[in-house]
């Protein structure tokens, strides 16, 4: 607990929006918010607006009791866990529609996803009114689009991106990893292997983007949804020669019942 005796600086509220089924990735955000802010609010809401009808809204893991204990241990002051009906009452009408980037990369197979995310994050910002909000870099495109929304709408909120937290195997932590068997978790580490291989190739001088993407593909045994090298600054797809800091973004499918979609990414600097 922080004891504040001075009123010369305004108290800062830090916010960590989540969909629950919390893991170390989420908790690293809560701990960072605790370090940087006076009040820490975590929200838990499986947001129906960001799931297409064929996706896993119903099956998405819900572990509220465990989540509350984890939030408390990580230093949250308030956990806001509304019903979807409280956020989207019957007369709810307004949605955030992001730009064309919402339809690329993950948005190609999940066209409604980012608009659902931007809408709920906008609503939650209005309720919590944080000065700082914390998001993981695991969904790099989401983080980018939220920063863009905050800029476009002149929201007085600092968006803080935090590094991906991985299992010791290299698998990026995700609530959806609970769908995987131990064997599948092992197989899914190929996404991280692809990132390491590309980072290593760049370190040893490879700059040809097609060669780097081919290398990444050759490491991945999952059914690949997409792999791209994108500009860190603009999220534009890069082609030709690597001349600027890039993010290798990827998504793949593993398993059959359920067919699980996993994402991962890593920084690639020339």
- The catalytic residues are 26
Please report whether residue 102 would count as binding ligand PAF according to CB under 6 A: no
C-beta of 42: minimal distance to ligand PAF in Å? Answer: 10
Task: List, in order, residues 6 or more apart from 50 with CB less than 8 Å away.
Answer: 112, 113, 114, 116, 117, 120
Contact 167, 185 (CB under 8 A): yes
Q: In this complex, which beta carbon is closest to ligand PAF, that of residue 84 or of residue 215? A: 84
Instruction: Tell me which stretch binds ligand PAF (CB under 6 A): 12-20, 73-81, 83-91, 191-199.
Output: 12-20
Please report whether residue 117 would count as binding ligand PAF according to CB under 6 A: yes
Q: In this complex, which beta carbon is closest to ligand PAF, that of residue 60 or of residue 198? A: 60
The torsion of the CA quartet 122, 125, 131, 132, rounded to 10 degrees, works out to -70
Show the site string, 135-164: x = touches ligand PAF by CB under 6 A, - = not: ----x--x----------------------
E-only strand ranges, the chain: 13-18, 39-44, 78-80, 132-136, 158-162, 223-231, 246-254, 260-268
Half-sphere exposure of 172 (CA within 13 A, CB side): 26
Please report whether residue 121 would count as binding ligand PAF according to CB under 6 A: yes
What residues numbered 197-236 form the site for ligand PAF, per CB under 6 A?
Answer: none
Determine how many CB atoms are found less than 10 A away from the CB of residue 258: 13
Count residues near ligand PAF (CB under 6 A): 10
Contact 14, 133 (CB under 8 A): yes
Contact 20, 175 (CB under 8 A): yes
Q: Using the 8-state DSSP alphabet, how is residue 49 labeled?
A: G
Among 120, 165, 251, 254, binds ligand PAF (CB under 6 A): 120
Cα 8 to its chain centre, rounded Å, is 35
Q: In this complex, which beta carbon is closest to ligand PAF, that of residue 77 or of residue 139? A: 139
C-beta of 190: minimal distance to ligand PAF in Å? Answer: 23
Q: Is the dihedral of CA 128, 21, 148, 166 positive or negative?
A: positive
Q: In this complex, which beta carbon is closest to ligand PAF, that of residue 39 or of residue 115? A: 115
Half-sphere exposure of 22 (CA within 13 A, CB side): 28
Q: In this complex, which beta carbon is closest to ligand PAF, that of residue 121 or of residue 197? A: 121
Among 13, 14, 18, 250, binds ligand PAF (CB under 6 A): 18
Instruction: Tell me which stretch binds ligand PAF (CB under 6 A): 14-22, 66-74, 102-110, 209-217.
Output: 14-22
Identify the bridge partners of residue 237 per DSSP, sorted by sequence position.
Answer: 230
Please report whether residue 19 would count as binding ligand PAF according to CB under 6 A: yes
Among 17, 25, 75, 266, binds ligand PAF (CB under 6 A): 17
d(CA 224, CA 140): 18
Q: In this complex, which beta carbon is closest to ligand PAF, that of residue 23 or of residue 185? A: 23
Which residues contact ligand PAF (rule: CB under 6 A)?
Answer: 17-19, 47, 50, 117, 120-121, 139, 142
């Amino acid at each position: 607990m922080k004891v504040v005796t001075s009123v010369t600086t305004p108290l800062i509220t830090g916010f960590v929006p989540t969909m629950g089924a919390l893991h170390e990735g989420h908790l690293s955000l809560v701990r960072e918010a605790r370090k940087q802010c006076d009040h820490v609010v975590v929200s838990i809401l499986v947001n129906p607006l960001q799931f297409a009808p064929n996706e896993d809204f119903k099956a998405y893991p819900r572990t509220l009791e465990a989540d509350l204990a984890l939030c408390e241990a990580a230093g949250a002051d308030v956990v806001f866990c509304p019903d979807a009906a409280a956020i989207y009452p019957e007369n709810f009408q307004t949605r955030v529609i992001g730009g064309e980037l919402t339809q690329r990369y993950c948005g190609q197979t999940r066209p409604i996803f980012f608009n659902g995310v931007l809408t709920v994050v906008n609503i939650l910002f209005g309720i919590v009114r944080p000065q700082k909000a914390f998001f993981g870099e695991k969904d790099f495109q989401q983080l980018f689009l939220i920063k863009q929304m905050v800029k476009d709408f002149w929201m007085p909120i600092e968006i803080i991106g935090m590094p991906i937290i991985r299992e010791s195997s290299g698998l990026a932590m995700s609530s959806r990893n609970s769908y995987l068997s131990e064997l599948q978790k092992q197989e899914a580490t190929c996404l991280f292997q692809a990132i390491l291989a590309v980072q290593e190739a760049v370190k040893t001088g490879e700059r040809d983007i097609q060669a780097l993407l081919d290398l990444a593909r050759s490491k991945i045994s999952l059914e690949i949804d997409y792999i791209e090298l994108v500009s860190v600054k603009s999220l534009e797809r890069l082609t030709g020669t690597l001349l600027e800091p890039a993010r290798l973004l990827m998504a793949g499918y593993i398993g059959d019942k359920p067919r699980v979609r996993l994402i991962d990414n890593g920084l690639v600097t020339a």
